[in-house]
Each structure stands twice: as structure tokens, then as C-alpha cells.
Amino acid sequence: MRLAIAAIGRLKDGPERELAERYRKRAEQVGRRIGFRDVEVVEIRESRAQEVGKRMIEESIALANIIPDKAVTVILDERGENLDSATLAARLGRWRDDGRPAGVFIIGGDDGLAPSLRDKASLKLAFGAATWPHPMVRTMLLEQIYRTMTILSGHPYHRA
């Protein structure tokens, strides 16, 4: 199973990008041993449309275009489920074992996602009720993906 994070916007060079990349590499390394081929980040340009609704639609179309057929889609949404790491790991493991070709985690732009994309998600995932800056969300998501890989592989990183 291939994993991807599709995010609106680009992380600037600096500590946030370095930390996110460190977790991405760790997740990919551990994941390869347990049936996860890649962990990649796809950055999509923010829409330049003036109207909020049009921006949401343009960005959502760009995100939807990178989702492979039969992929599991997980959107980051403050109204989503607050899952603990073990539950997220169990879901990822089940999707892998079911033969899903890919899992795509979607981080929308500042205006959110169009309902058409949000409604197609296999899972809506929240990191609490607080609003987080996009660089932190991406880094926290990559850390959680790394943590799920360690849980699935029996590595001691996660100590519940």
C-alpha cells in the first residue's frame, strides 16, 4: 500500500519542513518492512481565485485528481473523529490487509474542502477541536503515520 499526503500549499524551508521530512523518512523506512511501499508528500498550489467558493472547488479538484482508483481517502477536518494512535494504526493495517492500493491523507487549504470531496472521504480525522497551522498539521500527521507504522511493526516507539 502506498501512502500519500496531499496538501494545499508548500512548506517553506526551515525547521517545520525538516521535522516533517524526518518523520516522512522514518515512516517510509519502517513501513517498507510491513507492506507500505511509499510515504510521499504532494504539495498543490493554492488557488488564486478571489471568491472563497471558487477557491475551495479549484483546490478540491486538484486534490481529487491525485487520488488513485480504489484508494482510501482520509481528510483532516476539525469536525472529524479524534482517534488514538492505536485505532488509526488498526485502520491503516486493515486497509493494507484488504488490498487497498493507496491511502491518501488530504490537508485542505485555508478555506477548507468542497463538500463533494469531503463527502467522499473514507475517514474524517481531527487533531482535536483546536485550529492548527498547516505546517504543524502536516508535521503532526507525518508523526502519527510514523507512529502507526511502529505500532503495526511492534517497534517500541509507541508506549501506550
Predicted confidence band of residue 131 (pLDDT cuts 50, 70, 90): confident
| Full set of structural domains in the chain with CATH | 19-153 (3.40.1280.10)
Distance CA 84, CA 42 (A): 25
What is the model's pLDDT at position 94?
97
pLDDT (tens digit per residue) in 50-71:
999 999 999 999 999 999 999 9
Q: Give the pLDDT of residue 20.
A: 97
Output Rg (C-alpha) for the chain, integer angstroms: 15
Determine the 3-state secondary structure of 3 from DSSP.
strand
pTM of the predicted structure, to 2 decimals: 0.94
Mean pLDDT of 32-43: 96
Q: In angstroms, rounded to a whole number, what is the distance separating the alpha carbons of residues 69 and 99?
A: 12
Each residue's pLDDT tens digit, 61-103? 999 999 999 999 999 998 899 999 999 999 999 999 999 999 9
